[in-house]
Amino acid sequence: KNPKWFNRDRFLLSAGHGSMLLYSLLHLTGYDLSLDEIKRFRQLHSKTPGHPENVLTPGVEITTGPLGQGFANGVGMGIAQKHLQALFNRDGFPIIDHFIYCICSDGDLMEGVSYESASLAGHLGLDNLIYLYDDNQVTIDGPTSLAFSEDVTKRFEAAGWEVSVVEDGNDLGAIEYAIAEAQTSTGKPKLIRIKTIIGFGMPKQGTNKAHSDAPGEEAVKETKRNLDWPENKQFFIPKDALAHFRKAVKDGAAREKDWNALVKAYEKQFPDLGKTLKETRSNELPQGWETALPKFDDVEAKATRAYSGDVINAIADKVPQLIGGSGDLTPSNNTYIKSSSNFEPGRYANRNIHFGIREHAMGSTMNGMALYGSVIPFGGTFQTFSDYMRPAIRLAALSHIRVIFVYTHDSIGLGEDGPTHQSVEHL
């Protein structure tokens, strides 16, 4: 009943076109999503848009649709969680100990942003990520073999991920076992490659016709017969099935109650940390933060990016939630927090992230960090290279999130670098 509980597992549907899977499970498990809303799927002003939107539907963590974005958002969530764990967890007090789950598709893994963010996640050792790859080998055009023939397992292993394979996507026990194994393994993010049949039970299962074509009334009836489901009942939910799923409400409430008790004990033993944790969880800026802003009354002649760096560092001392970096342009963007060091394995409490030359992943992981909550991410690059991350900028706006994009070298006077670096059309 509290979809914003701080220590909840995060579930991300990067394959946003499968939104009805998410909506149906949210309804079954007791979220504020009625059957009437399910019936209004893809209709204007409904809570069930064609692709999930975090601002519309309770229980939807991120806005997805453009493939690959959810994959990278999860990496950002993993970064935020690791940072907060390092700041607040203490022996006997695992205040933050959940996982981040993501379902991704063949299409997600074809997108460049998934390459970039997978590389970053492997490098950073984000073992709080458990990704389920829906390996059905079908896209809209036809079989994935038309355009996609690489060895996904080897690619992810090379990027520092642990990969396991479930041969039958209908073997729920095997999937459950793979997830349990992933939960206990440490040091690497995990990809569970699950071989599935698209449109299972439909007359056109296993083909691109089952991807997005309207099946028609007769095909729906045949599918129900194939699955031993009542042929003439619509939106039918067996009572025992609903009762089983609704147990999640009590289970979730019990876990949150236990967690609240743990936090109370934590606040007694670590009062200063407890106070900071409470402030951080509120997602509010610290009181009086604006007093840290530098005043430039007697303006010295220096680049605006240098002044930007002064502001970032002044704010960072007052706003501990601020964390970020640059796409390999830190000295040029002036985005380094001088009072901290590099965010890396074993040093996750630090606040300077080296995103590498991965502008798209930087933007999308920053979105994930903001959607996780309790951190304020920032990232810098040259303004002309904002083109490399435009989908992430657009989704940040659609998601109504607090992300700081730092774009320097925003002048048409950058003549020495040539027209490739001049942000003419951007201005």
Residues in the chain: 427
**Alpha carbon distances (Å) from 211 to 21, 133, 195, 204, 327:** 14, 16, 16, 9, 36
> Does the annotation mark 157 as catalytic?
no
CA proximity to 281, closest of 254, 312, 260: 260
- Please count the CA atoms within 13 angstroms of the CA of 221 that sit on its side-chain side: 5
- Options 256, 284, 359, 416, the catalytic residue: 359
The Cβ of residue 72 has, within 10 Å, a number of other Cβ atoms equal to 33
The Cβ of residue 359 has, within 10 Å, a number of other Cβ atoms equal to 26
**Alpha carbon distances (Å) from 349 to 123, 315, 321, 322:** 16, 18, 11, 12
Provide the 8-state DSSP code for 9.
P
C-beta of residue 121 within 8 angstroms of C-beta of residue 75: yes
**Strand (E) or helix (H) holding 423:** none
Distance CA 368, CA 376 (A): 11
**Alpha carbon distances (Å) from 37 to 24, 60, 235, 246, 403:** 10, 14, 12, 18, 31
Which residues are designated catalytic? 359
